[in-house]
């Protein structure tokens, strides 16, 4: 049960953790990566409901879903150019490189190349306030 719950987490972890997972240390890898397992609460999933709702609307408004599959967010045309953002609240890292927290995720959304130079994710002209709301919604996805 714990190993099953940890699997999606380990799949997104950096290679060293992936190796540990392959060695049958799924639970250990999940804990080392700050991954939550089972019924434990999301580390940053408790933003006020109004902020999360605002983020959900903004994600649709900016059409982030044109590149990402995001639970609860519709897109006019969906492509798979970007990674699936399901269960993003349980991710330890943004694109496997940047610790996934409210401040770093909001920064990523406003200016992805500032965190990961050369990333194919475009800057979408999102204001810092809007990005914080979007991050609140994404971090509540489990
Ligand atoms: C043109 C396509 C495109 C659009 C539009 C887009 N993204 Fe992305 N996004 C990407 C790509 C490609 C990546 C992977 C970047 C990398 O690997 O460096 C990414 C990565 C991400 C990640 C990290 C995913 C992971 O697996 O760690 C998040 C979060 C994210 N985008 C959020 C957003 C939000 C929020 C918006 C809307 C404001 C948005 N994206 C709009 C293409 C897009």
Residues 88-103 have pLDDT tens digits of 999 999 999 999 999 9
Structure confidence by residue, pLDDT tens digits, 45-90: 999 999 999 999 999 999 999 999 999 998 888 777 899 999 999 9
Is the residue at 17 inside a domain? Answer: yes
Record the tokens describing residue 23, joined without a space.
């060695």
Domain range for 85 is 49-138
Q: How many CA atoms lie within 13 A of 102 on its CB side?
A: 17
Ligand 1 center from residue 11 Cα (angstroms): 18
Geometric angle at alpha carbon 83, from 77 and 87, rounded to 5°: 105
Q: Could you give the CA distance from residue 20 to residue 55 in angstroms, rounded to a whole number?
A: 35
Tell me, yes or no, whether 82 and 14 share the same domain. no
Q: Whose CA is nearest to atom 17 of ligand 1?
A: 95
Please count the structural domains in the chain.
2
Tell me, yes or no, whether 56 and 15 share the same domain. no
- The response to whether residue 73 sits with its C-beta less than 6 Å from ligand 1 reads no
Record the tokens describing residue 34, joined without a space.
């700050």
Task: Give the number of other CB atoms < 10 A from CB of residue 22.
Answer: 11
- The response to whether residue 49 sits with its C-beta less than 6 Å from ligand 1 reads no
pTM of the model: 0.79
Is the residue at 37 inside a domain? Answer: no
């Amino acid at each position: 049960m714990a190993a099953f719950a940890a699997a999606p987490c380990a799949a997104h972890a950096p290679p060293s953790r992936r190796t540990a997972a392959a060695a049958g240390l799924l639970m250990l890898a999940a804990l080392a990566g700050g991954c939550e397992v089972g019924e434990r609460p999301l580390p940053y999933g408790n933003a006020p409901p109004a902020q999360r709702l605002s983020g959900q609307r903004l994600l649709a408004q900016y059409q982030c879903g044109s590149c990402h599959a995001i639970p609860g967010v519709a897109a006019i045309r969906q492509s798979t150019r970007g990674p699936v953002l399901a269960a993003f609240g349980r991710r330890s890292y943004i694109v496997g490189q940047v610790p996934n927290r409210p401040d770093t995720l909001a920064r990523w959304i406003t200016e992805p190349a500032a965190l990961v130079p050369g990333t194919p994710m475009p800057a979408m002209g999102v204001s810092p306030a809007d990005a914080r709301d979007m991050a609140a919604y994404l971090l509540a996805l489990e």
